[in-house]
Homo-oligomer: A and B are copies of this chain.
Amino acid sequence: MPESRPYHHGDLRSALLDSAERTLREKGVGSLSLRELARETGVSHAAPGRHFKDKQALLDALALAGYDRLAEVLAAAYDPALPLQPRLTALARAYLAFATENAELLALMYARKHEPEAAEQMAAGVDRSVGSLGRVIADAQRHGEVVEGDPERLTLFMGATLHGIAALTAGGLLDADEAFGMTEDLIHHLLHGLKPR
């Protein structure tokens, strides 16, 4: 740790990302400016330009990091020892928790990005997260606990439902506690359908 403010920051890139993530969480994307970020990090306003080609590149990097964390959270919540229904409930709750705790970040993750190479990595990030769901479906199909059919479609059906409540909750249209409270019910309907048996 150098005594005051050295000419070279050392790890400006990750310092900017950390600062940006905090601002995003506390004040929203609208209040995120490169100049303000530079000020907080004690660096000139032009310095961020060395590490991020433009503002969108920084936002893309934030979103990408978000996908990494989401994939971790889901992987951690995936417990193959659990029966199907609680296994899915745990995954749903994990996603919901991530969505409510990172509402602004989630919006960034699912926004249309402009930089084409970032979009590619974004898709890969989605795949990694959807992977946890896909494993559950494929595994359950093998045990005859889930209907036969294209596992990708089944996974997408399930993913869409989870993403739906998560997005509605993150957007403030659904109360977080309410969403958590109905997760079990939701998974039940997902498994048993709306039609009476």
Chain A residues near B (Cβ < 8 Å): 28, 103-104, 107, 110-112, 119, 122-123, 126, 137, 140, 144-148, 153-154, 156-165, 167-168, 171-174, 182, 185-186, 189-197
Instruction: Please measure, in the bound complex, the distance between the C-alpha atom of A148 and the C-alpha atom of B156, giving whole angstroms.
Output: 26
A162 to B164, CA, bound (A): 7
When distances are taken between beta carbons in the complex, the residues of chain B under 8 Å from A145 are: 195-196
What are 16 residue pairs bridging A and B, where the CB atoms are less than 8 Å apart in the complex? A107-B111, A112-B171, A146-B195, A146-B196, A147-B194, A147-B196, A148-B196, A156-B182, A160-B164, A160-B168, A163-B164, A163-B167, A191-B193, A191-B195, A192-B193, A193-B194
Known: A145-B195, A171-B111, A193-B192. A186 touches B157 (CB 8 A): yes
Query: Lowest 10 A-B CB distances belong to which pairs?
Result: A193-B193, A160-B164, A164-B164, A110-B171, A163-B164, A192-B193, A161-B161, A160-B165, A157-B189, A191-B195
Number of copies: 2
Question: Which B residues touch A104, using CB under 8 A?
Answer: 112
Which residues of chain B are within 8 angstroms of A126 by Cβ–Cβ distance? Answer: 173
A110 to chain B: which residues have CB within 8 Å? 167-168, 171, 173
Our pick among B123, B159, B174 for the contact of A164 (Cβ within 8 Å) is: B159
Q: A154-B194, A159-B168, A190-B194 are in contact. List 19 more A-B contacts (CB 8 A).
A: A28-B112, A107-B107, A110-B171, A111-B171, A126-B173, A137-B194, A147-B194, A148-B196, A157-B190, A157-B194, A160-B161, A160-B168, A160-B186, A161-B164, A163-B167, A191-B194, A191-B195, A193-B194, A197-B197
Question: Which residues of chain B are near A192, meaning CB under 8 Å?
Answer: 147, 193, 195
Q: What is the distance, in angstroms, from A178's C-beta to the closest C-beta of chain B?
A: 9
